Structure 1
Amino acid sequence: MLKYTVKKYCSEGSKINQIIIAILMVLPVFSYGTAVGWMSPMGPRLMSPESPAADPVHPDVISWMASVVYLVGTPAVFLFGYIVDNYGRKKALMLTSLSMVVCWGLKLYSTATWALITARAIIGLGVSGAYVVTPLYIKEISEDSIRGVLGSLVVLSQNLGNLVVYVLGEYLSYDATLWICLAIPLVHLLVFTTMPETPSYLLKRGKVEEARDTLAWLRCRDTSEAAVDSELQLLLLELEQSKSGNIASALKSLVTDRSTFRAFRITLTITLAREMCGCLTVLHFASLIFSEASQGGWVLTANQQAAVLGVVQLIGSCTASSLVERTGRKPLLGTTCLISGVALCVLGSWFYVQSLGDGAGASWLPVAALCLCIYCDAAGLQPVPFVIMTEMFSFQFRGTVTSIVISFACALVSVQLRVFQPLATAVGLYLIFWLFAGICLISTVYIALVVPETRMRSIDEIYAEIGGKKCKESKDCEADVTRL
């Protein structure tokens, strides 16, 4: 496939092949986005008297369906880390789509409780594959000049998946929605078989000439060009450097090195803030929340209001990349966390007034508050912690830290989604939103006092700040922070 003359299909040095493969690559993430959003329109439908199941599904089953995804995703992160390293990026990504095919197919096959929960559990493989494999694949196939743009497609595609399934769930039947969701990973499986493995992985397997051909195809250049050979040599150098360490030594240094451990602790804390702000819970149970809020004559249905959230989330993810470069990481993260906290306070107060029986009043308020919260999440709270994480750790630690952080996030979300609906029934939505608000406001203070600004700064400078040192011209400081 890669032996043809690329100039016949694209101009020399064009980035079109990288863009095409990146778009195909994020289809599993899009499919995962539809799986996340599917719970919002279909959860209430499954519990209703008109349920597609034989009997209305119990709310506890819905809670398990929401949480089991991330319960499985917690260990699956490490499974995909093993598959990526030993069997390749391409096979791992296709396994991700295969798991999504099984998920949608099982839901079409049966609406029994075992089938619904098992299908949702299989999505745990999808979330792990999507967020372990896709960023790595994009990093290894793209040039520096477009890596940031292509990387932003990951979050964008998930948010687009959320929006699409909100719309489908409002206007199509239960089965029709499932068939469309099934078609997406099937298309990916069929088309992605023609795509190449990454040059870095091919070099790791000793396939130098195949790596050269792949690199030339991705860059729309001839294999004999000096630019291709130069980039290939850089990849070989990076491969040699990566062989100097292993996971065990990385874990040991992560814990024993003071500056690295502080960076790791900060990363886990802002991950906690990101996952406990309540936004993912809102996306899973959007229709349920809006059903509670739609008693004041609001003209949109609960599902249509959830679709509005999807649009807002998509807009937020589109603006995230430009905001993070203009404002810096720390100001954007702190500001979005603060605004989310205030919006959730307002939302909790609105539901509290409702619980007192004082009438619906201002039915636009919960919609506006949730839209503001979701926008802040997409524009800052979701993407910025990942950016900070990659900028605070060297190549030696990045893979290990990413696996631990994603696993930690999955565990948090699993517990959160499992208890949300029972808690909402037992204590009311207002207490839950106030809890989310409190976490956001406390996290804002932590971000202001502890989290460093990482934009346009080296790891040495970042570690000097979090270590409580001033890195001026001191050789002692320089030696301390460059031990990595």
Structure 2
Amino acid sequence: MNILISRLNWQNGTRINQYIFAVLLTIPLLSFGMIQGWLSPMLIVLQSPDGPSSQPLTSSDISWMTSVTYITAIVCGAPLGHLTDRYGRKIMTLVTTLSLIIYWQIKLICLEPWALILARGIAGIPSSACYIVLPIYLKEISDIDLRGAVGSLLILNRNIGYLASYVFADLLEVKTMLWMGLLVPTVMFFIFLVMPETPEYLVKQGKIEEAKAVLAWLRGVKATDRSVERDIDSIVKVDKQTQADAKSVWKIIWSDKPTFKAFIITLVIKISQQFDGYLIVLIYASFVTEKAAETISLELSPNKQVMIIGVAQLVGSILATCIVEKTGRKLLLVSTSVAVGVGMLLLSGWFYFTSAGFWLPGWLPVAAMCICIFADAAGFQPISYIIITDLFTFQLRGTVSSFANICAKVSNFVQMKWFTIICELISIHWTFLFFAIVSFLAALYTVIYFPETRHKTVEEIYQKLEKRKDVEENGS
């Protein structure tokens, strides 16, 4: 029996183990947040002759450093769903954490351009794994009424990592910050060694009694509890049905109408969220504030303004964790996507009018970026991950997560590689206007097609999608 289950075994009905487990599982995303957050304040430093590298990074180096992560994320992300189903959630979480350790070690050894690009390439592994493996692991150790809240912890911890990087970059030496980055995944690797597997994966492996023990431990009850027996029997039943069905995962997605509709909804929301401009604001925040400073004198340095954006992002994540199980997915998704669109529209307008010679206050672009990042973190982003676990059974989750992740990383790569070039070609205000339009269209799509998934099983959601399909066919 797993050491945690034998030592930390409360049997008074408390679900404290689920909360502890969920917090620990999302800490790798804190480390990945530090990886992503490190770029924004360091871009200007790395291009300076006085930077930590023996030679300043060129624009080409920066372009590859920001985009190479998404190339390896696409390549590594493709088989991750299958590997997670085959080798287990725990093993793949350990692999994810190990890749984070390697990233920080490379930077500690060398800060030359080639090493920075190599490290960013390695970061592509957690860039995919953190968003494929961890949401599945989280979903399968959480009760249905907790899944939205614990799912939001993924983005919350990642945003803590962003803010930590902004603050550390402003206060600490580069090497000290890198040691801090290495510490987090190293500690978590050893903690994950004693973590149990999920009940659903154990059932898949035929380990029914062990699955009962893990589920009972998560719920703080005895393994003979009727609710544990009932839920394990339900998982066994679904697993047997899946094994009896000779169809491949992709054949199920294409042939089953509710599943296909859920798949399309997932892709539309995931891709539109990636193209809402949040990543550009985060990675190029210093670039945007520096452009603002060219036109109007700002009282805060670009680094300090980036820290303000980090705080807004963190507050948005905290809000999402607190209210996602109260408001529901749909309302939160619509309201936050509209808010992101408004923020991007303000950014577009500010750059357009100031470039035309009009005076606008210097705090406006910073406030607009804060609105975008707050709203994205408060709903648009966490919901895009939560709905994958809401809309699909555990047999399909890994495959759908991998495919959605590939689409997301392709979107990220396109933005990272071409943002500065496109800004030079058509001006920065048109770029932000495009992000605004995407956000508004996403809100409209959600209103029309997205079903509320809060506290609903996959079967209940599919029944709703089936009814909507029947209504559309009868109407036509």
2:458 pairs with 1:459 = no
The within-5 A match list for 1:85-484 is 85-223=85-223, 228-245=228-245, 249-295=248-294, 296-321=296-321, 323-358=323-358, 361-394=360-393, 397-454=396-453, 458-466=461-469, 468-469=471-472
TM-score (norm 2): 0.89
Amino acid at match of 1:46: L
> What is the CA RMSD across the aligned residues, in angstroms?
2.9
1:256 Cα deviation after fit:
3.9
Gap regions ≥5 residues in structure 2: none
Unaligned 5+ residue runs, structure 1?
A: 473-484
Query: Structure 1 residues 49, 422: CA separation in 2 closer, same or farther (over 3 Å shift)?
Result: farther
Read off the aligned partner of 2:92 and give its amino acid letter. Answer: A
Task: Tell me, in whole angstroms, the C-alpha distance in 2 between the residues paired with 1:389 and 1:231.
Answer: 21
Structure 1 residue 161 displacement after superposition: 1.1
| Mapped partners of 2:356, 2:447: distance in 1 | 36
- Contact 2:68–2:117 (CA<8 Å) still a contact in 1? yes
Q: Could you give the per-residue CA deviations for residues 293-349 of structure 1, whole angstroms, max 9, x where no partner exists?
A: 235333222122111111111111222245545544444323322232222122112
Is the Cα contact below 8 Å between 2:2 and 2:194 reproduced in 1? no
Contact 1:5–1:222 (8 Å) recurs in 2: no
Aligned length: 471
User: In 2, distance between residues paired with 1:184 and 1:8?
Assistant: 23
Residues in 2 aligned to 1:367 and 1:311: alpha-carbon distance in whole angstroms: 12
Mean alpha-carbon deviation: is it higher for 3-12 or for 365-374? 3-12
CA positional deviation for 1:155:
1.5
How big is the shift at 1:213? 3.7
* Contact 1:263–1:392, Cα closer than 8 Å, also in 2: yes
Matched residue of 2:57: which SS? coil
Deviation at 1:449, TM superposition (A): 4.2
**8 Å contact 2:2–2:195 — kept in the other structure?**
no
Post-superposition offset of 1:93: 0.3
Is the 2:98–2:185 contact (alpha carbons within 8 Å) kept by the matching residues of 1?
Answer: yes
How far apart are the structure 2 equivalents of 1:171 and 1:114? 26
* SS in structure 2 of the partner of residue 111 of structure 1: coil
Give the structure 2 partner of residue 482 of structure 1. none
Which residue identity is paired with 1:130? C
Tell me, in whole angstroms, the C-alpha distance in 2 between the residues paired with 1:258 and 1:143. 27
CA pair 352-386 structure 1, distance change in 2 beyond 3 A: same
Question: CA contact under 8 A between 1:6 and 1:221: conserved in structure 2?
Answer: no
Q: Distance in 1 between matches of 2:330 and 2:22?
A: 29
**TM-superposition CA deviations, 1:131-165 (whole Å, max 9, x none):** 11112212222333433332221111111111111
Paired with 1:31 and 1:326, the residues of 2 have a C-alpha distance of 29
Residues 194-232 of structure 1 deviation map (CA, whole Å, 9 limit, x = unaligned): 222223323333334433443343333444555554444
Residue identity matched to 2:416: L
Which secondary structure state, in structure 2, belongs to the residue aligned with residue 53 of structure 1? Answer: coil
* Kept in 2: contact 1:31–1:100 (CA 8 A): yes
Matched residue type, 1:335: S
Q: How much does 1:181 deviate?
A: 0.7
> Are 2:150 and 2:321, in contact at CA under 8 Å, matched by a contact in 1?
no
Greater displacement, 15-24 / 35-44:
15-24
Letter in 1 for 2:431: I
> 1:77-92 counterparts in 2 under 5 A?
77-92=77-92
Change in CA separation of 1:262 and 1:163 when aligned onto 2, cut-off 3 Å: same
1:259 Cα offset (Å): 4.8
In 2 relative to 1, CA 302–245 (structure 1 residues): closer, same or farther, beyond 3 Å? Answer: farther
| 8 Å CA contact 1:2, 1:213 repeated in 2 | no
Question: In 2, distance between residues paired with 1:145 and 1:153?
Answer: 15
Q: Structure 1 length normalisation: TM-score?
A: 0.88
Q: Give the secondary-structure state (helix, strand or coil) at the position aligned to 1:270.
A: helix
Letter in 2 for 1:420: F
Q: Distance in 2 between matches of 1:141 and 1:316?
A: 25
The more displaced of 205-214 and 287-296 is 205-214
**Counterparts of 1:139 and 1:259, CA distance in 2:** 21
- C-alpha displacement at 1:427, in angstroms? 4.0
Q: Does 1:40 align with 2:40?
A: yes
CA separation of 1:244 and 1:311: change in aligned 2, threshold 3 A: farther
Mapped partners of 2:46, 2:173: distance in 1: 12
- Using a 3 Å threshold, how does the CA distance of structure 1 residues 150 and 222 change in structure 2: closer, same or farther? same
Structure 1 residues 471 and 298 mapped into 2: Cα distance closer, same or farther (>3 Å)?
A: same
Alpha carbons of structure 1 residues 370 and 238: separation in structure 2 relative to 1, 3 Å: same
Change (3 A) 1:144 1:334: closer
